[in-house]
Amino acid sequence: MLRSWHEEAKTIDIWENLRLVVVNSTENYGSLDINQSPFNIGLVAELEEFTPEEIENLAQRHNYDCNSNQIQQLISLIGGHPYLVRLALYHIALGEKTLDKLLEDAPTNAGIYEAYLRRILKNILANEKLTTGFMKVVNADEPVAVETMQAYQLYSMGLVKRVGDKLVPRCQLYRKYFREHLKQ
């Protein structure tokens, strides 16, 4: 339906007035046929990583009084990934976890990210080539080259960063968790 409306707007005057804003997650790109996606039209707006200043601001909004060293500890594990940062600060603000305990448990099935990481694992395992490509990335200590389509899917899923034509895990949490859970 969205695609047909998009196409109608190209040829029918009244439809030219229609503007759609569609937000979708690319988390499950590993299991989709990306050539038949209803979301491969329009413009892509990627959610950028939070800066240390933005993380500090969000921490203050959660009434979490932290210092720059604590923010750097969090960033060293999860980068500025908006969802991961928000979830961490939420659990700390509730008093469920200390930062030290959160960081220790994060890459394990006892951590706050367990359901999120398991969902990603399921999506990766649904595609054998993607699994092989991502294993190559998380097991390397240097940026590595991965086949173009797998690189695109991994990047679209938010799992990797590009370093030229090579890839590295988006954050250390991904490297630690998936090194352990993608073992053959």
Query: What is the pLDDT confidence band of residue 137, given thresholds at 50, 70 and 90?
Result: very high
Taking residues 129-145, report their average pLDDT. Answer: 96
Decide if 69 is inside a domain: yes
Residues 131 and 136: their CA atoms lie apart, in Å, by 9
Query: Are residues 157 and 123 both part of a single domain?
Result: yes
Interval 38-66: pLDDT, tens: 556 666 777 899 999 999 999 999 999 88
Decide if 29 is inside a domain: yes
Residue 23 pLDDT exceeds 90: no
Query: Structure tokens of 156?
Result: 């679209």
pLDDT of residue 54: 96
Taking residues 14-32, report their average pLDDT. Answer: 63
Domain count, the chain: 3
Decide if 45 is inside a domain: no
Cβ atoms 144, 166 nearer than 8 A: yes
- Among 11-15, 28-32, 152-156, the minimum mean pLDDT is found in 28-32
Decide if 141 is inside a domain: yes
Query: Are residues 100 and 153 both part of a single domain?
Result: no
Query: What is the pLDDT confidence band of residue 3, given thresholds at 50, 70 and 90?
Result: confident
Query: Structure tokens of 111?
Result: 């951590």
pLDDT of residue 168: 98
Residues 159 and 134: their CA atoms lie apart, in Å, by 9
Decide if 153 is inside a domain: yes
pLDDT of residue 104: 96
**pLDDT over 70 percentage in the chain:** 85
Decide if 160 is inside a domain: yes
Residues 119 and 115: their CA atoms lie apart, in Å, by 6
Task: Find, among 110, 105, 100, 125, the residue nearest to 178 by Cα.
Answer: 125
Query: Are residues 76 and 101 both part of a single domain?
Result: yes
Q: Which domain holds residue 121?
A: 115-181
Residue 144 pLDDT exceeds 60: yes
3-state helix, strand, coil in the chain (%, to 5): 55, 5, 40
Residue where one domain finishes, among candidates 83, 105, 127: 105
Helix locations, 62-171, DSSP H: 68-78, 82-93, 99-105, 114-125, 128-139, 148-156
Strand partners, 161: 168
Interval 93-104: pLDDT, tens: 999 889 999 999
Query: Are residues 171 and 126 both part of a single domain?
Result: yes
Decide if 110 is inside a domain: no
- Rounded to 5 degrees, φ, ψ at 160 are -135, 160
Query: Are residues 119 and 174 both part of a single domain?
Result: yes
Query: Are residues 69 and 12 both part of a single domain?
Result: no
Q: What CATH number should be reported for the domain holding residue 146?
A: 1.10.10
Taking residues 9-31, report their average pLDDT. Answer: 67
What is the value of pTM for the model shown? 0.81
Mean pLDDT, the chain, as a whole number?
87
pLDDT of residue 37: 57
Decide if 164 is inside a domain: yes
**pLDDT over 90 percentage in the chain:** 70
